[in-house]
Amino acid sequence: MYKQPKILHLLLIAIAFIFFSCNSSQTNSNMKEDSSSIPGRKWWKEAVVYQVYPRSFKDADGDGVGDLKGIFSKLDYIKSLGVDVVWLNPIFSSPNADNGYDISDYKGIMKEFGTMADFDALLKGMHERGIKMVLDLVANHSSDQHEWFKQSKSSRENPYRDYYHWWPAEKGKPAHRWSFFDVNGDAWKFDPTTNAYYLHYFSDKQPDLNWENPKLRKEMYDMMSFWFDKGIDGFRMDVIPFISKDTSFPELPKQYNGDMVAYYANGPHLHEYLKEMNKEVLSKHDVMSVAEGIGVNTASAHDFVDSDRNELNMLYHFEGVSYGYVPGKFKTPVPGGYQLVGFKEIYSRWDSTFAEKGWGTIYLGNHDQPRMVTRWGNDAPEWRALSSKMLTTFLLTMRATPYYYFGDELGMNNIKFDRIEDYKDIESINNYALAKSRGEDLHAFIEAQKISARDNGRTPFQWDSSMNAGFTTGTPWLKVNPNYKTVNVAAEEKDPNSCLHYFRRMVKLRKSNLVLVYGKYQLLDKENPNVYAYTRELNGKKLLVLLNFSSKPASVNTGIDISKAKLLIYNYSSPSTNATLQPYEAAVYEL
């Protein structure tokens, strides 16, 4: 009675062992083949990053603001997407002049978002599900409510004085520095307490930290280590190219030709500090780092990300998302839109930049951008879902780490406010005030904002068709897009053709085809004004990606016969069988 089950037990273990070793050897041999033939494999190159804007994801306590407990309650949803990394916008203590990009305590949690215990639970919950967590490092500036700034401002002799940039007023007005968010566009603010000006590239509530001071740099590295010791998996680094400054604050050098952003991104000791940060902190952990590559171009990008420089892993450039705006005018779309040929040129050039060295990123939306479907697809009801899936196909088939913005998996689109009063974003509000004081056309300003404003990408996530899209039981901090009745997770879960299911399939496709991560990229039919076509090729495996960016049927000439190709994914119920693509059609073939 006793022995038989024991024998059975052993037998079962033996069978399981044989089964497991056969299978694992198969997987291992595949892995071996892949890794031996692909140099420089890294988890962060193969990852799909999903960006969560905590303020707008899920509100657990009914105050109208998303929070950490809310994110925790939706971890299984995030897991179901198949993504590897979650990047959270700033969750640190902040008076919220710029939604957390004004930090008053780098080691504290924003009250509205919860407590450190909530954070620890969230991190654990992610790790238990095999998801990595990346936090936002806002190192160029702090809040004016940070204790360092309060001290710094109190007297010229205060030990924290040199944590920020001050210009004594007896020397006259400092040379002009332009500010992103200032109502007068002026980055110097006069403070009577010590008769001096302080520098703020963003709003006057975001004074710039002085990285030329070694004490400040040490504080920053200690703070980063504090979060790494907690177990986080990386940092996205806010405006990191701006940290180093020529503290003599000269007139803008002529070579920059009025381009303040390029000047800001080329500080004298920038790379010295990034190397130091790498040595002191990043190199000690298996983590990823990604710069917000503002002011960085294809020529300077390698200085940030090449592995032999020991600085950062990746950066995201602004060339793509800025394309189609009137140069020199605040986020104003060019009438008639952009040209696809120019769009293809930008993304192809960035691909070739990293073809041999370094590694790229790709994104079409984030918390500083409007919704991708409105800006790069078509949010008219008949095209919203189709064009959104087409853009998702683009993002997940390029040679670069994709940064996918929450809500884009549902095909969420711009809310397009008619009135400035509906905006909550300091950028829109202060630039409106600036336009007003300059006597500019305010109607035109509002019309442009309907396409480009950041709040379009910040409206609450749409969970279901209940009140406030299931985001909150309170009053949402920013209006919910009225289309939530039909565009929401619950409805899309039920529809096998939804954007949501399409995103999951695309993530799976990328994760199961290393050719989509590392394969060589080749642009085809370059001058085609409507279709973006390219191949990806690795170790004898070749995929063809066809994307119609227009609302009309469009022909494509790739010179490739697809009659025998295997169709891997497409966004219509049946794909085109000839050389004409249907409006916003996307298809990926294995050749």
Distances, alpha carbon 173 to alpha carbons 169, 183, 203, 265, 386, in Å = 6, 18, 19, 23, 54
Distance CA 81, CA 48 (A): 10
Catalytic residue among 59, 112, 204, 292: 292
Instruction: Give the residue closest to ligand ISL by C-beta.
Output: 101
Q: How far is the CB of 355 from ligand ISL (least distance, A)?
A: 26
Residue 11 CB-density burial (10 A; 0-12 exposed, 13-18 middle, 19+ buried) = exposed
Residue located via tokens 């691909």: 351
- Cβ-based nearer residue to ligand ISL, 386 or 435: 435
Contact residue for ligand ISL among 84, 233, 409, 427 (CB under 6 A): 427
Beta carbon nearer to ligand ISL, 152 or 179: 179
Tell me which of 294, 315, 412, 544 binds ligand ISL, using CB under 6 A.
294
* Residue (393 or 456) nearer to ligand ISL, CB: 456
For strand 234-237 and strand 132-137, is the pairing parallel, antiparallel, or unpaired? Answer: parallel
527 is catalytic: no
* For ligand ISL, the closer CB: 202 or 521: 202
Measured from the CB atom, the residue of 362 and 514 that comes closer to ligand ISL is 362
- State which residue, 84 or 98, has the beta carbon closest to ligand ISL: 98
Q: Which of 44, 50, 87, 101 binds ligand ISL (CB under 6 A)?
A: 101
Nearer to ligand ISL, 261 or 543 (CB): 261
Cα–Cα distance between 567 and 165 in angstroms, integer? Answer: 58
CB of 497 to ligand ISL, least distance (A): 33
Site membership for ligand ISL, residue 306 (CB under 6 A): no
Q: Which is nearer to ligand ISL, 317 or 344 (CB)?
A: 317
Distance of CA 183 to the CA centre of its chain: 27
CB 292, min distance to ligand ISL, A: 6
Q: Which of 59, 238, 311, 455 is catalytic?
A: 238
Instruction: State the Cα angle at 293 between 303 and 398, rounded to 5°.
Output: 90
Asked if 181 and 190 count as a contact pair (C-beta separation under 8 A), the reply is: no
Instruction: Please report how close the Cβ of residue 184 comes to ligand ISL at its closest, in angstroms.
Output: 17
What is residue 53's three-state secondary structure? coil
Active site residue 147: no
Q: What are phi and psi of 464, to 5 degrees?
A: -160, -170
For residue 462, give the amino acid letter: Q
> Distance between CA 356 and CA 340 in Å, rounded?
26
Q: Are 435 and 349 in contact (CB under 8 A)?
A: no
In single-letter form, the type of residue at position 207 comes to P
Instruction: Please report how close the Cβ of residue 343 comes to ligand ISL at its closest, in angstroms.
Output: 17
Closest CB to ligand ISL among 191 and 368? 368
User: 10 Å Cβ neighbour count for 262?
Assistant: 17
74 is an interface residue for ligand ISL by CB under 6 A:
no
For the record, the structure tokens of 428 come out as 């829109």
Number of residues that bind ligand ISL (CB under 6 A): 13
Q: Smallest distance from the beta carbon of 452 to ligand ISL, in angstroms?
A: 9
Of 457, 462, 458, 485, nearest to 472 by C-alpha is: 462
Identify the residue among 92, 180, 461, 570 touching ligand ISL (CB under 6 A): 180
Residue 410, SS3 per DSSP = helix
Beta bridge pairs of residue 543: 536, 590
Antiparallel, parallel or unpaired: β 520-524 and 531-538: antiparallel
Contact letters (x/-) for ligand ISL, 448-477, by CB under 6 A? ------x-----------------------
In this complex, which beta carbon is closest to ligand ISL, that of residue 294 or of residue 538? 294
Give me the sheet containing 586-590, strands edge to edge.
520-524, 531-538, 541-548, 586-590, 566-570
In whole angstroms, the minimum distance from the beta carbon of 552 to ligand ISL comes to 31
Taking CB under 6 A as the criterion, the residue among 161, 205, 344, 367 binding ligand ISL is: 367
Least spacing, CB of residue 141 vs ligand ISL, in Å: 7
Which residues have C-beta within 8 Å of that of residue 200, sequence separation ≥ 6? 141, 179, 182, 187, 188, 189, 206, 207, 208
Contact at 8 Å (CB) between 141 and 94?
no
CA 38 to CA 41: how far, in whole Å?
Answer: 6
Which of 50, 92, 202, 235: binder of ligand ISL (CB under 6 A)? 202
**DSSP H stretches of helix in 474-583:** 489-494, 499-511, 514-518
Rounded Cα–Cα distance for residues 144 and 135 (Å): 21
CB 206 to ligand ISL: min, Å? 6
- Residues numbered 237-256 forming contacts with ligand ISL, rule: CB under 6 A: 238-239
Name the residue nearer to ligand ISL (CB basis): 77 or 325: 325
Does residue 319 touch ligand ISL according to CB under 6 A? no
Cβ of residue 368: shortest distance to ligand ISL, in angstroms?
Answer: 4
Cα 471-476-480 angle, rounded to 5 deg: 70
Instruction: Find where tokens 């210009």 sit.
Output: 167
Give the shortest CB-280-to-ligand ISL separation in angstroms: 23
Q: Let me know: does 165 contact 248? Beta carbons within 8 Å.
A: no
Return the axis-axis angle of helices 426-437 and 442-452, rounded to nearest 10°.
Answer: 160
- Out of 98, 276, 408, 585, the only residue in the binding site for ligand ISL (CB under 6 A) is 98
Q: Of 26-65, which residues contact ligand ISL (CB under 6 A)? A: none
Residue 208 binds to ligand ISL (criterion: CB under 6 A): no
Of residues 142-161, which lie at the interface with ligand ISL (CB under 6 A)?
Answer: none
Phi–psi pair at 558, nearest 5 degrees = -95, -15
Q: Name the nearest CA neighbour of 403 among 136, 589, 140.
A: 136
Task: Tell which one of 368, 422, 447, 537 touches ligand ISL (CB under 6 A).
Answer: 368
Q: Could you list the active site residues?
A: 238, 292
Task: Give residues in contact with ligand ISL (CB under 6 A).
Answer: 98, 101, 138, 180, 202, 238-239, 292, 294, 367-368, 427, 454
